[in-house]
Amino acid sequence: MLIGYMRVSSSDERQSVALQRDALLAAGVDERHLHQDRASGARDDRPGLKACLGELREGDVLVV
């Protein structure tokens, strides 16, 4: 199964979750398996990443 993760820095308005989402969907990730965070990469508290990693099972592919 393909699992997708996207992150946008809250300080960079030029980044777009929509563009990342479109790319993940085009790569074949099912919408039900998309996870996202809107936070600085320096922060450790990323609930979307934690949920994404928690969903991964042996044989799955993480698409970022």
| Positions marked catalytic | 9
Tell the burial category of 62 from Cβ atoms under 10 Å away from its Cβ (0-12, 13-18, 19+). middle
Q: Is 64 helix (H, G, I), strand (E, B) or coil?
A: coil
